[in-house]
Structure 1
Amino acid sequence: MNLDNIDVSVIIPVHNGAVWLGECLASVLRQQHTLTVEVSVFLDSCKDTSEDIVQGWAVKLEDQGYVITVGKENNDKPKGVGYAKNKAVEQSHGEFLCFLDSDDVMLPTRLQRQYDLAFHSCNAIVGSRFSRDPPDSTVRYTKWANGLTAEQLTLQIYTSHGPTVIMPTWFIHHTVFERVGGFSDAGAGTPEDLIFFFTHLKRGGRVVRHDEELLIYRYHPQATTFSIHEQTIWDLRVRVIQDEVLSSWPSFTIWNAGKQGRKFYRSLTTDNQKKVMAFCDVDVKKIGSFYTYEESQEKPKPRIPMIHFKEAKPPLIICMKMELTDGVFEENLASLQLKEGTDYFHFN
């Protein structure tokens, strides 16, 4: 096969993935498509049988017309998933890149479905809906991610530990990767997918989702996501919402006078703290009182009033988690008839 005419490279970073890797590669073999496809695997300091598994499946894949490209490094410690993704992309030849984690499984129509969509969306990260394995893991998160509207894919980017389209479903044109500059290779504990996602949007990129479930997304204790500290992601989200939203607002209200709302306030720069006019809530024990920021170096220390949500004036940053109040919060928000992305943004 001419390496200059490959439609899609499936990008698979691997570190000690032997438990799941065979099923992952089998899902590539089961793909139903009319494309020229390369499988680009990078083995990042594997100490298990991952390399043997890849070599065994390479023969089967090559027999079915796939190009197989395998790279590896053997260091004392792995250099991390961002580094491995970058290396797998660097050695690949496809016009489009289909990302696949070694512990996940593609459904048979994934490559063709996403290629058909991405072909007309070359400036986009194209994701898809997904199912979880086991099915009862992260139920609220899965429902949220799969249920976002096309508009919310870019409006609710500050609300979660990860992008609005999960990384293992990404399908992009190679120029998207080049424009962002690849993934952070800072190593373990770095949310490389979220950093890439925010950079992509900042540089004018779009987000699109195929509305079929095209991936089985595994949940297990060894998953890379568990190596990333929650505070690291929180700090990144706060920094981006300040740059992209709060920088253009002269004032705003925080919806949630409790723990999450106050944490968000304390995380802001002093300039943005000064823009907070009020906290709003439904708790009668809070309404009418003030929140005093004791750690502030300002004199006098800031005292922020707590008001009823019906008295709040937009714009608002909403620090409430969804679907935890049997629909009461959602009804309260809807009653104000505000427009998401103009009058409010979620940060929960």
Structure 2
Amino acid sequence: MNPEKRLRTAGGGGAETPRGEREEAGREVDVSIVMPAHNASCWLDECLQAISEQDFTGSMELSVYDDASTDDSRQKVEGWRTRLEARGVSVVISGHSSAQPKGVGYAKNMAISQSCGKYLCFQDADDIMSPHRVRLQYEASLLNPNALIGCRVQRLPEGSTERYTRWINTITQEQLMTQVFTSHGPTVVMPTWFCSRNWFLKVEPFDEGGKGVPEDLLFFYQSLRQGGGLSRVNQCLLVYRYHEKAATHSVTEETIWKLRVDFLQERVLSQWSGFTIWNAGKQGRKLYRCLSPANQKKVKAFCDVDENKIQKGFYTYEESKEIPKPKIPIVHYKAASSPFIVCVKLDMTGGVLEENLNSLQLKEGTDYYHFN
């Protein structure tokens, strides 16, 4: 499903050019703001106004790829060209007018391939960057050239995703790495990404599978596989808008679940000889059933705080073809042994889960990983 690495010209037809070449020989700027757009007209004035107000003193360009909009998104961007160029921001716009959009991954790849910045600042057309965003993330990226750089966000409307927003803004630098298996998705959230072009080209283009494909999570995991780092500017540099038309809503929970399980097995469970699943309920059992047979055999026990579950004594894997069917013990968490995969949702127990983990003096990323 992944396209081969390539760069294209800015023409609406999307003709390909060899990787590494530019549309114009010698054209290069410090930062390209990469913006896919599809029917974004109602948000573009605020978005583009914020881009025009950046305090970054280096050279910038805005690269927009319009993915079959049926509104006046492309014309709206064109209408801002003079104002943006007056502020020193060059503008590259292209797109296609097919009957159906080709998806966010395709539009991002096209916007990147027609751009020429040494660094890439990803900007969704419905979000608003602070005046300091490009400058601060550029400075951070110079120090971390092989990393995805994020930032804190303000969610709009306020309170629309309270737990998710709190998680984005409060996880530590270490947790950017250790919590990559949680259901929240990339610990450095896509609308805040900033990275060097060289690193993007080393990883791979975005998956172009279209609607329903989590192109950001696929790229995020591939970046980690390549040894990439993660970092966050601890300032709010983006107004991150929540609305029903956001592309993320087209991705199913099961698609994300499978990607997370596969990455967990690849990165963590492959290194462990045995482990305990922290949650004998629905989520813990689901994780067990999704593991490979080899990793299922590594599960020493389920642990829980629910006495009703503990009193059952064991979980029987009825779907197994083995005879007799596997029976996994269910024990109290204080009687369980590390390492753990914790399948209890964060920030949902009034701090009880966190207190229980702390009581065992466990180290996240060594003794346990969060999966929910």
The alignment's TM-score, normalised by the length of structure 2, stands at 0.92
Write the distance in 2 (CA, Å) between the matches of 1:301 and 1:66. 65
2:360 — aligned with what?
336
1:136 — aligned with what?
159
1:124 — aligned with what?
147
Write the distance in 1 (CA, Å) between the matches of 2:191 and 2:68. 21
Q: Helix, strand or coil for the counterpart of 1:204?
A: coil
Write the distance in 2 (CA, Å) between the matches of 1:15 and 1:74. 11
Range 150-159 or range 19-28, more displaced: 19-28
1:295 — aligned with what?
319
Report the alpha carbon displacement of residue 312 of structure 1 after superposing the two structures with TM.
1.0
Root-mean-square deviation (CA), in Å? 1.2
Q: Helix, strand or coil for the counterpart of 2:310?
A: coil
2:42 — aligned with what?
19
Q: Describe the superposition over 1:18-67 as per-residue Cα deviations: whole angstroms up to 9, x where unpaired.
A: 12122111110111121100000000111111011011011210122111
1:285 — aligned with what?
308
2:338 — aligned with what?
314
Report the alpha carbon displacement of residue 15 of structure 1 after superposing the two structures with TM.
0.8
1:171 corresponds to which of 194, 212, 215: 194
2:67 — aligned with what?
44
Amino acid at match of 1:54: V
Counterparts of 1:184-195 in structure 2, within 5 Å, are 184-195=207-218
Checking the alignment, whether the CA contact within 8 Å between 1:3 and 1:93 is kept in structure 2 is no
Report the alpha carbon displacement of residue 327 of structure 1 after superposing the two structures with TM.
1.2
Amino acid at match of 2:329: P
Report the alpha carbon displacement of residue 2 of structure 1 after superposing the two structures with TM.
9.3
Q: Helix, strand or coil for the counterpart of 1:286?
A: helix
Q: Describe the superposition over 1:217-256 as per-residue Cα deviations: whole angstroms up to 9, x where unpaired.
A: 0000000110101100000000000011101111110000
Q: Helix, strand or coil for the counterpart of 2:100?
A: coil
The answer as to 2:285 corresponding to 1:262 is yes
Checking the alignment, whether the CA contact within 8 Å between 2:63 and 2:112 is kept in structure 1 is yes
Checking the alignment, whether the CA contact within 8 Å between 1:11 and 1:39 is kept in structure 2 is yes
After superposition, the Cα gap between the structure-2 partners of 1:27 and 1:177, relative to the gap in structure 1 and judged at 3 Å, is same
The answer as to 2:351 corresponding to 1:327 is yes
Checking the alignment, whether the CA contact within 8 Å between 1:261 and 1:319 is kept in structure 2 is yes
Counterparts of 1:68-217 in structure 2, within 5 Å, are 68-217=91-240
Checking the alignment, whether the CA contact within 8 Å between 2:164 and 2:184 is kept in structure 1 is no
Report the alpha carbon displacement of residue 290 of structure 1 after superposing the two structures with TM.
1.1
Write the distance in 1 (CA, Å) between the matches of 2:342 and 2:353. 11
Q: Helix, strand or coil for the counterpart of 1:40?
A: strand
Write the distance in 2 (CA, Å) between the matches of 1:4 and 1:210. 29
Amino acid at match of 1:64: R
Equivalent pairs counted in the alignment come to: 348
Q: Describe the superposition over 1:90-111 as per-residue Cα deviations: whole angstroms up to 9, x where unpaired.
A: 0000000000001100011101
After superposition, the Cα gap between the structure-2 partners of 1:270 and 1:90, relative to the gap in structure 1 and judged at 3 Å, is same
1:58 corresponds to which of 81, 97, 102: 81
Report the alpha carbon displacement of residue 4 of structure 1 after superposing the two structures with TM.
3.3
Amino acid at match of 2:286: K
Report the alpha carbon displacement of residue 170 of structure 1 after superposing the two structures with TM.
0.5
The answer as to 2:255 corresponding to 1:232 is yes
Q: Describe the superposition over 1:268-316 as per-residue Cα deviations: whole angstroms up to 9, x where unpaired.
A: 1111111111000000111142111111112111111100000111111
Q: Describe the superposition over 1:150-178 as per-residue Cα deviations: whole angstroms up to 9, x where unpaired.
A: 11101100013320011011000001110
Write the distance in 2 (CA, Å) between the matches of 1:64 and 1:144. 35
Write the distance in 2 (CA, Å) between the matches of 1:242 and 1:233. 14
Checking the alignment, whether the CA contact within 8 Å between 1:33 and 1:112 is kept in structure 2 is yes
Write the distance in 1 (CA, Å) between the matches of 2:220 and 2:347. 25
Report the alpha carbon displacement of residue 320 of structure 1 after superposing the two structures with TM.
0.6
Checking the alignment, whether the CA contact within 8 Å between 1:291 and 1:303 is kept in structure 2 is yes
The alignment's TM-score, normalised by the length of structure 1, stands at 0.98
Report the alpha carbon displacement of residue 204 of structure 1 after superposing the two structures with TM.
0.5
Checking the alignment, whether the CA contact within 8 Å between 1:100 and 1:168 is kept in structure 2 is yes
Write the distance in 2 (CA, Å) between the matches of 1:181 and 1:229. 23
Amino acid at match of 1:132: R
Amino acid at match of 1:326: G
Q: Helix, strand or coil for the counterpart of 1:67?
A: strand
2:16 — aligned with what?
none
Checking the alignment, whether the CA contact within 8 Å between 1:169 and 1:215 is kept in structure 2 is yes
Write the distance in 2 (CA, Å) between the matches of 1:227 and 1:47. 19
1:221 — aligned with what?
244
Checking the alignment, whether the CA contact within 8 Å between 1:127 and 1:165 is kept in structure 2 is yes
Q: Helix, strand or coil for the counterpart of 1:287?
A: helix
